[in-house]
Chain A
Amino acid sequence: MKRRLRPSAVMGLTAVALALVLLPQIVSNPFAVDICIRVLLFAFIGVAWNLLGGYAKQLSLGHSAYFGLGAYTSTILLIRYGVSPWIGIVAGGIVAMLASLPIGALCFRLRGPYFAIATIATAQVLMLLFLKFRDFAWGAEGTTIPNLGNSPWMMQFDAKAAYYYVALILLGIGLAITSWVERSWMGYYLVALGEDQDAAEAVGVNVPRIKRDIYLISAFLTGLAGTFYVQYIYFIDPNTAFNFNVSVEAALVSIVGGIGTLWGPVVGTLLLEPTSALVQSWLGGSRGGVQLTLYAVILMAVILWRPTGLLGILVGAYERMTGAAPGGAPTATAAARKGASFDG
């Protein structure tokens, strides 16, 4: 399934890529760069969640389990054994991946809402374990990541722009994997399984295997995000690493943007993160609960009026503007079409 891109689309994509690379050189305000990094990071977590939640329609609310395992693996390797987080990030991803095997084996026995509840439970159990066993990983107090100054080999940088590029590369990896999955045999099996699990099984899709495989990929990517995040904020404790909000936001950005689409999580994060950062800075951050109230209202509005996500609106507007002919659709359009056929 080779797509031919029109010259205008190629130029558009090149321009966007160039703008993304040059962005931190133009924007010098640390607050703005911080927002950009968070956008990239949460878009990446959303992309990881979307593989399982969007394509296979296994609606996890426990992805903070893998975020936390990735974060703790690299931090323990760094502080106890002096291992570079560049190795730690891969190790964290692998630990998250391995953890997804037993967790998946248990939780996939349940469907729909009860799958979601079981995943909440696994993430909570992991958080409680890390809170309880102080000798193993600093318990509830957590620990700071030793600041080594500007040492790129230890994933520590003076310039915020460097973190931006790391997050950009992570997001690129996530999107590349999603795009590959979308086009491979796996993507078709996933969509079949998401539409109707029993029917997919009846026509010979190995449902348990495909669920396990996509969960492995999703957990691996989420683990990478965990390592990056603690390296960025220089601190780890169970409430940060296994924070329920990570699980929520992973699902939220995908649903708001467009669940089961390549660009959905990116669009969702672009809308939600800057909005919440701006609202919080206006209100001075003294009032708790503003960010999540806002998120909840947006999520409810999207579910009631636009359950396929906001990406479809953007694509529709773009098509009306350019009068794009069928056949030469850029990637996002194809993805949104897939999303438009999603009926629950």
Chain B
Amino acid sequence: MLLSPMVAVIAQALVNGLLIGGIYALVSIGVTLIFGVVKIVNFAQGEFVMIGMYISYWLATRTGLDPVVSLVVSMPLLFLVGVLLQRFLLRRVLGLGDMPQIFLTFALSLLLINLGVLLFTADYRTVDTSYTNSAIHIGPVYVGVARLIAFVLAMLLSGALEVFLRTTDLGKAMRAAAQNRDVAMLMGVNPDHVFSMAVGLSLAMAGAAGSLIMPFYSVYPGVGQVFVLMAFVAVVLGTLGNVRGALLASLMMGMGESLGIQFVGADSGLIVVFVVLLLTLALRPSGLFGGQTR
């Protein structure tokens, strides 16, 4: 090999980060979609990843279904949960200002995490698949098969959502509602329907993220916090409400975190992410979301 060991280490870290960044993207796209359409930041988005993971975990341990295949169960189930969430909870705090909106989804997050602890205990649970430990070698870089599958499917799902938003009537209605809700209503967009579909789709993405990482990640009740913090940072970095912005920012966050783990220390991935967030706020606040009035 002509590559120096240092380059190989960096390349490995970047590849690992990129692959996990695909999962972060599914979560941040969900956050950005709900925010864009319904104008609520869902603090509980990570907990729906957790629910997706538990669905795949139980299906895998009880029926032997492959976690990645159990996507076909977790996505529709979480879509349904999303519709109910919008109909029974989010709808009641629309337009009520920051306090009820923040603390309703925040309370939901607390509730789901702690119900998880009550029902399943705080134990870490894993699923072993035939490909959990296999890897492809590309030069000096190892690419985990499970991570690669997760990344490719995550990108396909993100692409499908983008196509959906750009080409279908419902997708266009969502984008219209995101741009200017009042005008969209005047043009005949039914808010209840559009909001329910947007929250449903967003939660389905979170459920997909959960199923996709199950072959190589442990599930425990607080697991969602890892993903949701990353998603929030990505959403601040990318342009809010913009699916592509959230996607790119998530991939960058994944690689940033991975480099942080490699060069600062195993416990420092989050420090890097938070420092990136705080530096962005310090140096470029106006180009970001903070420059706008909601």
Contacts and interface: CB of A to CB of B under 8 A. Distances in A.
Given A109-B290, A113-B101, A292 B281 contact: no
B92 interface: yes
Give the most central of B99, B117, B118: most A CB within 10 Å.
B99
A170 B46 CA distance: 37
Interface in A258-297: 259, 287-290, 292-293, 295-297
Contacts of A111: 98, 290, 293-294
Interface string B200-238: 000000000000000000000100000001001100100
B96 A118 contact: no
Interface of A: 57, 59, 61, 105-107, 109-114, 116-118, 120-122, 124-125, 128-129, 131-132, 198, 248, 251, 255, 259, 287-290, 292-293, 295-297, 299-300, 303-304, 307, 343-344
Contacts of A125: 271, 274-275, 278
Contact of A296 (B92, B93, B107, B232): B107
A289 B278 contact: no
B111 interface: yes
Q: Is the interface of B mostly helix, strand, loop or mixed?
A: helix
Given A110-B290, A111-B290, A131-B267, A296 B114 contact: yes
Contacts, number: 138
Q: How large is the interface on B (under 10, 10 to 19, 20 to 34, 35 or more residues)?
A: 35 or more
Q: Is the interface of A mostly helix, strand, loop or mixed?
A: helix
A105 B121 CA distance: 40
B265 interface: yes
Given A287-B118, A296-B114, 7 more contacts: A57-B99, A61-B106, A114-B232, A117-B41, A289-B221, A303-B104, A344-B99
A245 to B, nearest CB: 10
Contacts of A251: 103
Given A122-B278, A289-B114, A303 B103 contact: yes
B268 A110 contact: no
B85 interface: no
Contact of A300 (B108, B282, B293): B108
23 contacts: A109-B290, A112-B102, A113-B98, A113-B101, A113-B102, A117-B41, A117-B232, A118-B277, A121-B229, A121-B277, A125-B275, A128-B268, A248-B110, A288-B121, A289-B221, A293-B111, A300-B108, A300-B111, A303-B99, A304-B92, A304-B93, A343-B97, A344-B96
